[in-house]
Structure 1
Amino acid sequence: MAEITPETVAERLENDEELTLIDVRDAADFEEWHIPGSENVDVYEDLKNDPDSAAATLAELPADEELITVCAAGVLASDAADMLEAAGHDAATLENGMNGWARVHRHAELEADIDGELIQVARPGTGCLSHVLISEGDAAVFEPSQYVEEYETLLEEYDADLVGVFDTHAHADHVSGGAKLAERNGVPYYLHPADASGIEARSVEDGDVLEVGAVEITVIHTPGHSPGSVTFAVEDEALLTGDTLFHDSVGRVELGVDAGLEETNVEENAETLYESLERLRTVDGDPLVLPAHDPGTPQPPVAARLSEVKDRNEAFCQDRETLVAALAGDIPDQPANFQRIKLANVGTEEISDEEADELELGPNRCAAE
């Protein structure tokens, strides 16, 4: 049975190559989270309990297409691929299934007028976006995933030395690799103290100016999504907004409350977020807005100028009363395992690497819908 790596699938999708992804999980799991463009052929139970029925269903798929079978971990999908091959189809299995898809990282340079390079690292399986700033041989990593080797490899490619790791806030939807990456490389980990309950981090406060090579980074405290949320302004060229501001929506305001980490309430947080968005609306110039997530399957670069975000993001430009009512009253589904992820990222709960893999599987849900 042939296998295809998630990285190869991501590259082929990025290049608009034709391939047919057959997701054999049950319909509910597929609806919750799947690779865009994939087709759900729900033979999950039949693969376990009635293989002949599963084989008959799969045999009806087009015989002239390359078929890639997908399941959660690649096990039952391999059985499906064997059945397809036995029926004369060209079939392979996505290695490690959706678990493997969640680990894929892709990167691309952004067009930014700075004395250095600004690189975006995207996880198409989760919607997470990280950024790497390199100037004069020094590098800073913003919002790294738990898979820190991805960033170390990237820095080797650019022959850059890591000097700092930054998180805009304690995330609720994915396990941060910030502290781990910093510790492995003997550099500071920067996080606002309001979000660093039990984790060793160097404090960043509103108005702080930090340097990476020849590039200045200014800290803008933008609470609301979390008490310690900040935006990092990369000179006048980019705003790393975390989960405060996305291209088409704004951050949620209830996750920290529901996790038991905040003494405020949802309405107070919504008011606070409005004020933070007001600060970002009035930033000088027209910088790139670079959030920590994208709701789709991001292929880098994912970027938009502030003026464009103002034009297309209705929530960003709403009046206080309308926005507060929407954020406090229309709360979407919560991210999977967000309480434990949040506790891990503020440093009050330890989780193993294996647990971290399991906890963050699934779609991103840190944006208000």
Structure 2
Amino acid sequence: MTARRTQKVSAKEVTKRILNHEDLFILDVRNESDFSDWKIEGNSVEIINIPYFDLLDDMRPALDKIPADKEIVVVCAKEGSSIFVAEQLAEAGLNHVSYLEGGMKSWSEHLEPVKVSDLSGGGELYQFVRIGKGCLSYMVLSNGEAAIIDTSRMIDQYEQFMQENSVKLVHTIDTHLHADHISGGRALAQMYAASYHLPPKDAQEVTFAYEELAEGKDITVGQETIKVQPIYTPGHTIGSTSFIIDNTYILTGDILFIESIGRPDLAGIAEDWAGDLRDTLYGRYKELSEELIVLPAHFGKITELGEGGLVSGRLGTLFSENPGLNIEDESEFRRTVTESLPPQPHSYQEIRKANRGEITPNKEEQREMEMGPNRCAVHDK
């Protein structure tokens, strides 16, 4: 009798299925608390959780809940447990069983490039969707040059994309000092002898040299006047900076998301920054064109992913529909952004230290520091 075989499926393949709205049935075998905190989500995803230790001696708890006519993807933290469960399910007679290669660690690290648009100067703008973490980064391409905004630490994936598009990196830019993920901007800039840019008000304790972002100081990419224009917009951090690209797109960092707004409490001075956040959202952003397309640095819910996975929204529409932009009473706004917030990001203090250059965690330590969902928004509970 021929043994039934299982197959591995990559995080990229699972991402494509979710973005294409293909039916996906997932058996997550992590413990209940980890599953409740963070899981694979999608409009076409059906997922159940049965801890690995409940299946060691008997697969019936899983077999009773799994549809026999669907492909099953088994998921665990790192991969090993899911291989065992997938093999046992195949031996029990299921015909379409696979496991997520690299487990939730690989899910957390995959970047999916999504084209935003061609730009008027002949270049292109891409959004990199880190679907397992909720992080969004951006790449501007023009005349053989590239700039990356809010780079994740998985710099090899940006390198591959740049090689495929025959461009050289000239700038990396962080909209602010991140607290939920380790920035790859400085490391990538060093590899390519590119310039690394950071808001000076967020960089007072950094241990390295950088280019200061300043309002009105354009950052040019390529030879065709594709410019990234900083707009100083404090609130999430004291130095948070937004960028307008091609007079069409506004990169809002962690100040403004599609369905929520940034939280001001990750430096321990929420009361001080709540006013800055309100001034930015209800003042500076209100003065901008409502036709600008908002491109944030994070998304909180899978529902924020649009066609092809793109996370974006017209600024005028957000002023109508985003709850965080519709709190008229200032006292109520302050309460909203300082009280009853979701848990703070995992290891966020250590992540801030790493982004300041104060500590240098190795690759595995960086993975552990970042595990879990995005928690940079006020309304993501």
TM above 0.5, yes or no, is yes
Q: Find 1:175's aligned residue among 162, 179, 182.
A: 182
Letter in 1 for 2:315: L
- Between the aligned partners of 2:289 and 2:35, the Cα distance in structure 1 is 43
Structure 1 unaligned blocks of 5 or more: 258-264
- In structure 1, the partner of 2:279 is 275
Matching residue within 219, 232, 236 for 1:221: 232
Aligned AA for 1:26?
N
- How far apart are the structure 1 equivalents of 2:314 and 2:63? 48
**More off after superposition, 120-129 vs 24-33:** 24-33
For residue 284 of structure 1, report the CA deviation from its aligned partner: 3.2
- TM superposition shift of 1:67: 0.9
Once structures 1 and 2 are overlaid, which stretch shifts more, 270-279 or 11-20?
Answer: 11-20
Match of 1:346 in 2: 356
The DSSP-based 3-state class of the residue aligned with 2:36 is helix
**Residue aligning to 1:91:** 97
Kept in 2, the 8 Å contact 1:195–1:346? The answer is no
Shift of 1:200: 2.4
What is the rounded CA distance, in whole Å, between the counterparts of 2:336 and 2:23 in structure 1? 41
Q: Deviations 1:221-278 (Å, cap 9, x if unpaired)? A: 1111111110011131111110011111111111012xxxxxxx32110001111212
Shift of the 285–138 alpha-carbon distance from structure 1 to 2, 3 Å rule, reads farther
Which 4+ residue blocks in structure 1 deviate beyond 4 angstroms? none
Q: Does 1:153 align with 2:160?
A: yes
What secondary structure, in the 3-state scheme, does the structure 1 residue paired with 2:364 have?
Answer: helix
How many residue pairs are counted as aligned between the two chains? 358
Q: Aligned partners of 2:296 and 2:139: how far apart in 1?
A: 13
What's the CA shift for 1:108?
A: 1.6
Counterpart residue number, 1:119: 126
> If the length of structure 2 is used for normalisation, what is the TM-score?
0.90
Equivalent residues of 1:23, 1:38 under 8 A apart: no
Partners in 1 of 2:249 and 2:7 — Cα distance? 43
Cα distance in 2 for residues equivalent to 1:266 and 1:19: 40
Identity of aligned residues (%): 34
1:238 is matched with 249
Q: 1:289-304 alignment to 2 at 5 Å?
A: 289-297=294-302, 298=305, 300-304=309-313
**Residue type of the partner of 1:121?**
F
Q: How much has 1:285 moved relative to structure 2?
A: 5.3
Q: What's the Cα RMSD here?
A: 1.6
Q: Is 2:112 the partner of 1:106?
A: yes
Distance in 1 of aligned mates of 2:25 and 2:198: 42
Deviations, residues 307-366 of structure 1 (Å, cap 9, x unaligned): 111111121243333322211223221111111111111222221122111111110000
Matches within 5 A, 1:1-369: 1-36=6-41, 37-47=45-55, 51-53=56-58, 55-60=59-64, 61-89=66-94, 90-111=96-117, 113-115=119-121, 116-196=123-203, 197-198=205-206, 199-213=208-222, 214-257=225-268, 265-277=269-281, 278-284=283-289, 286-297=291-302, 298=305, 300-319=309-328, 320-369=330-379
The structure-2 alpha-carbon separation of the partners of 1:317 and 1:111, relative to structure 1 and needing over 3 Å to count, comes to: farther
Conserved in 1, the CA contact under 8 Å of 2:35 and 2:49? Answer: no
Corresponding residue of 1:261: none
- Could you report, residue by residue, the CA deviation over 1:151-170 in whole angstroms, capped at 9, with x for unpaired residues? 11111222222110000011
Q: CA deviation at 1:137?
A: 2.2
Asked if structure 2 preserves the Cα contact closer than 8 Å seen for 1:69 and 1:80, the reply is yes
Deviation at 1:18, TM superposition (A): 2.7
- Whether the aligned pair in 2 keeps the contact of 1:112 and 1:237 (CA below 8 Å) is no
One-letter amino acid of the structure 2 residue matched with residue 97 of structure 1: G
Deviation at 1:113, TM superposition (A): 4.8
Aligned to 2:3: none
Structure 2 unaligned blocks of 5 or more: 1-5
Tell me the alpha carbon deviations over residues 87-130 of structure 1, each in whole angstroms, 9 at most, x when there is no partner. 10121111111111111111121136532211111011011101
Q: Which deviates the most, 233-242 or 299-308?
A: 299-308
8 Å contact kept, 1:139–1:162 = yes
